[in-house]
Structure 1
Amino acid sequence: MYAPERHQAILEQARANGRVEVRELAELLAVTPETIRRDLTSLERRGLVRRAHGGAIPVERSVVGSAVSDRHEILVAEKMAIATAALEELPDGGSVIIDAGTTTIKLAELLPVDRRLTVVTHSLPVAMALADRDNIELHVLGGLVRSSSRASVGTWTHQMVSMVNVDIAFLSINGITPERGLTTVNIAEAAVKSAIIKASRRSIVLADHSKFGREEFGRVAPLAAIDTIITDIGVNHELVLEVEAAGPEVVIAGSAGQPAVA
């Protein structure tokens, strides 16, 4: 049995049973436990399973594309650490684009009240977090609002993004791999994210560790197109080295929100 066939069989077992064990898989597929461990490592790097003691559990990919209200309660501490570290990247009185996403919503909520900023966003939750702030000049991009992300997409959104030139873009993403770069679950949102990168002098991706090694349907940009990725201490350090070799700096936010460069 070739590796891709084993990987498919392992995924089917994991999704059917909720968990797989190395010893049982080795017997079932007639290979050594070491081979199964390598297979599980490969699947984990692709974001399909998560290693557990003696085996692995499946990663439910549907969570990534679920409603923002559901995703808001996942990896809360990690997202808060990332958003706090991102504050160090804010320009002094300049302009930023804040993308749609749960970590970027936390960043919007943490923006300082004593610094004047121009903020552009296509995210309704980000806009609502900033609408009453006197120190924020808020520009909301129109378009077709997707109910799952509560963000505008489409032709109007693209036209408005093309009219601005900002200092920094803070982006959310669903997948990061050295081979495929940045990806997300929806093509329309992928196109907006790509346009945001082009409209910004610097692009910073806010992504918790679960996004590393994951590939999604909509391609946003190669890693060379962005400057920095801020993630959390749960990230796979081998993947970090591969990502940095492709271009961006990776900053790891500590548990207290203090960044430490990987």
Structure 2
Amino acid sequence: MEARKEEIIELIKKKKYVSIPFLEEKLHYSQSTIRRDLNYLERLHIIKRVPGGAVLVKEELIENPNEIKYETNKEEKNLIAELAIDFVEDYASIFLDASSTSQVFAEKLKRRKNLKVFTPNLYTAKEIESTRKNQVYLIGGLLNDEHTGGSFCNEMAAQITTDYAFFSCRGFDLNFGASDALENEAGIKKIMKENSKKNFLLLDHTKFNSMYTFQSLTVESIDYMITDRKPNNATYALNKYFEIIYGNDYSR
């Protein structure tokens, strides 16, 4: 996504409402260019056009495009991926969800060989396939923003079993567990958590203490949580259900 569009998103997030003249003055682009950008962002359900400008879609309903999610908290995702790679040995079978965190993790999997990787994320599949050292299976379905979903996707996932499944989420709550804003993303996770021997939840610190519409993983279904920093005491108490690994902690 162009830097100009990203700046528009940040301005709307900050001010909640922006007018077209305000954006014209702030960004130094013509009103016709600004209108085209706003129309594009509205099609992605990030903003809503209103007379004279635009407003932010309710924050929890925003599903940013893949390229924005990939760059968000990139340093934290890299740290989490470095911790997670230690659990993967050659010849393992793995499920990676559609998240940008799994996409970053896929880059680390190039260090392994003879893996069988299943994913609904097109970018992740391309990353795994690029080295030719591992096999990758793209789980099919309706393609939207470089990942698949829907009933076809779930039917295919139901026929797969793996050694490990790596999931991320939009939010994590002590009681509700991991959750997502999109039903499609939560649905395939519910299937694969039952079809994998070990389930890993990869999430950075910004995901804690938030809850979205669709539950994807219960607390009891998680075997390992891997995050970039030590959770608060209440969350850390969940280590009676699963092992928690966090940045700069290699004690396990």
Alignment TM-score, normalising by the size of structure 1: 0.70
Task: Determine which of 231, 248, 251 is the counterpart of 2:245.
Answer: 251
Provide structure 1 residue ranges, at least 5 long, that are not aligned to the other structure: 1-14, 19-59
Establish whether residue 217 from structure 1 lines up as the match of residue 213 from structure 2: yes
Kindly indicate whether the alpha-carbon contact (under 8 Å) linking 1:96 and 1:120 is maintained by their aligned counterparts in 2.
yes
Q: CA deviation at 1:108?
A: 0.4
Evaluate the alpha carbon distance shift between residue 91 and residue 186 of structure 1 in structure 2; reply closer, same or farther with a 3 A threshold: same
- Aligned counterpart, 2:89: 91
RMSD between aligned residues: 2.2
- Aligned counterpart, 2:178: 182
Q: Secondary structure at the match of 2:137?
A: strand
Sequence identity percentage? 23
Provide structure 2 residue ranges, at least 5 long, that are not aligned to the other structure: 1-12, 17-57
Kindly indicate whether the alpha-carbon contact (under 8 Å) linking 1:113 and 1:133 is maintained by their aligned counterparts in 2.
no
Kindly indicate whether the alpha-carbon contact (under 8 Å) linking 2:186 and 2:215 is maintained by their aligned counterparts in 1.
yes
Q: 1:161 is aligned with what amino acid?
A: A
Q: CA deviation at 1:226?
A: 1.3
Q: Secondary structure at the match of 1:111?
A: helix
Q: Distance in 2 between matches of 1:155 and 1:175?
A: 24
Q: Distance in 1 between matches of 2:218 and 2:67?
A: 29
Evaluate the alpha carbon distance shift between residue 126 and residue 206 of structure 1 in structure 2; reply closer, same or farther with a 3 A threshold: same
Q: Distance in 1 between matches of 2:209 and 2:109?
A: 30
Q: CA deviation at 1:137?
A: 1.0
Q: 2:204 is aligned with what amino acid?
A: D
Q: 1:238 is aligned with what amino acid?
A: N
Establish whether residue 140 from structure 1 lines up as the match of residue 138 from structure 2: yes
Task: Determine which of 163, 184, 187 is the counterpart of 1:167.
Answer: 163
- Aligned counterpart, 2:77: 79
Evaluate the alpha carbon distance shift between residue 66 and residue 155 of structure 1 in structure 2; reply closer, same or farther with a 3 A threshold: same
Kindly indicate whether the alpha-carbon contact (under 8 Å) linking 2:177 and 2:217 is maintained by their aligned counterparts in 1.
yes
Q: Secondary structure at the match of 2:78?
A: helix
Establish whether residue 195 from structure 1 lines up as the match of residue 195 from structure 2: no
Q: CA deviation at 1:61?
A: 3.5
Q: 1:253 is aligned with what amino acid?
A: G
Note the alpha carbon deviations across 1:187-239, whole angstroms, 9 max, x for none: 11111111111111111011001111110111112110110110012x53224
Q: Distance in 1 between matches of 2:81 and 2:217?
A: 22
Evaluate the alpha carbon distance shift between residue 114 and residue 241 of structure 1 in structure 2; reply closer, same or farther with a 3 A threshold: closer
Q: Secondary structure at the match of 2:76?
A: helix
Kindly indicate whether the alpha-carbon contact (under 8 Å) linking 1:131 and 1:138 is maintained by their aligned counterparts in 2.
yes
- Aligned counterpart, 1:124: 122
Evaluate the alpha carbon distance shift between residue 64 and residue 232 of structure 1 in structure 2; reply closer, same or farther with a 3 A threshold: farther
Task: Determine which of 213, 225, 232 is the counterpart of 1:229.
Answer: 225
Q: Secondary structure at the match of 1:100?
A: coil
Q: 2:242 is aligned with what amino acid?
A: P
- Aligned counterpart, 1:33: none
Q: Distance in 1 between matches of 2:156 and 2:79?
A: 31
Evaluate the alpha carbon distance shift between residue 186 and residue 260 of structure 1 in structure 2; reply closer, same or farther with a 3 A threshold: farther
Q: Distance in 2 between matches of 1:93 and 1:260?
A: 25
Q: CA deviation at 1:140?
A: 0.7
- Aligned counterpart, 1:68: 66
Evaluate the alpha carbon distance shift between residue 17 and residue 230 of structure 1 in structure 2; reply closer, same or farther with a 3 A threshold: same
- Aligned counterpart, 2:236: 241
Q: 2:181 is aligned with what amino acid?
A: V
Q: 2:70 is aligned with what amino acid?
A: H
Q: CA deviation at 1:172?
A: 1.3
Establish whether residue 204 from structure 1 lines up as the match of residue 189 from structure 2: no
Q: Distance in 1 between matches of 2:100 and 2:214?
A: 18
Q: Distance in 2 between matches of 1:113 and 1:91?
A: 10
Q: 2:238 is aligned with what amino acid?
A: V
Flag as ranges the 4+ runs of structure 1 deviating above 6 A.
15-18
Q: Secondary structure at the match of 1:112?
A: helix
Specify which structure has the bigger relative contact order, considering alpha-carbon pairs within 8 angstroms and separated by 6 or more residues: 1
